């Protein structure tokens, strides 16, 4: 994609976006995009985000644990729950970061070296307004042709179950883990470069 066409695609994604809501309380978004370590780290560095929790979306509570989910038979997706201040950042802006920085929305049931349905790209709207915004965003993303391959992201329903303590704040606690250095550190650099006005150190 040329610089001109990429810029046009990004402008298309901005069109009709819902921006900050003055006076609103915190809201929650649940997004799945591969290994939750990197997705969590990206959103922890976004202004307006209050808290990010790694966990499992979809499936049932009884088998929402890493061992079971890794079997790829539970129906869960590795996901993050983002608590954010809608007076500072909108749901639409979170979706743009999700689709252009946090993961590759064209990969089917995988992200990089991680393969299986638990690594799928999926948005879990928390209310009707989010569902409508997610549908609109994905339609814009597809029509913009920002990515040369088809968008694989699905809109799903289901609960969210926090992951084990060992998976929370993983990048912060293990900054030199080989997986983090190879697959997740570049996402932070991309976030800072692509969205400098939203970067939080």
Cβ neighbors of 35 (< 8 A, separation 6 or more) are 78, 111, 114, 119, 179, 183, 184
Kindly state the helix (H) or strand (E) to which residue 171 belongs, with its residue range: helix 170-173
35 is catalytic: yes
CA 52 to centroid of chain Cα atoms: 11
Q: Which of 29, 32, 35, 101 is catalytic?
A: 35
**Token match 């929790």: residue?**
53
Helix (H), strand (E) counts: the chain: 8, 8
Helices within 20-122 (DSSP H only) = 36-44, 66-69, 91-97
Residues belonging to the active site? 35
């Amino acid at each position: 994609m040329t610089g001109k066409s990429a810029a046009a695609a990004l402008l298309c994604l901005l069109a009709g976006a819902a921006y900050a809501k003055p006076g609103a309380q915190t809201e929650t978004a649940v997004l799945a995009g591969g290994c939750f370590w990197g997705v969590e780290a990206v959103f922890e560095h976004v202004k307006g985000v209050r808290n990010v929790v790694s966990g499992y979306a979809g499936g049932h509570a009884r088998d929402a644990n890493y061992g079971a989910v890794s079997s790829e038979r539970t129906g869960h997706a590795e996901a993050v729950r983002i608590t954010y201040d809608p007076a500072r950042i909108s749901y639409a802006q979170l979706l743009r970061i999700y689709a252009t920085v946090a993961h590759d929305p064209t990969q089917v049931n995988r992200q990089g070296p991680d393969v299986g349905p638990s690594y799928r790209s999926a948005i879990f709207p928390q209310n009707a307004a989010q569902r409508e915004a997610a549908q609109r965003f994905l339609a814009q993303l597809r029509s913009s042709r920002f990515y040369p391959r088809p968008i694989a992201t699905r809109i799903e329903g289901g609960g969210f179950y926090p992951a084990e303590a060992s998976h929370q704040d993983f990048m912060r606690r293990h900054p030199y883990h080989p997986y983090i250095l190879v697959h997740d550190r570049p996402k932070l650099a991309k976030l800072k470069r692509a969205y400098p006005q939203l970067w939080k150190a």
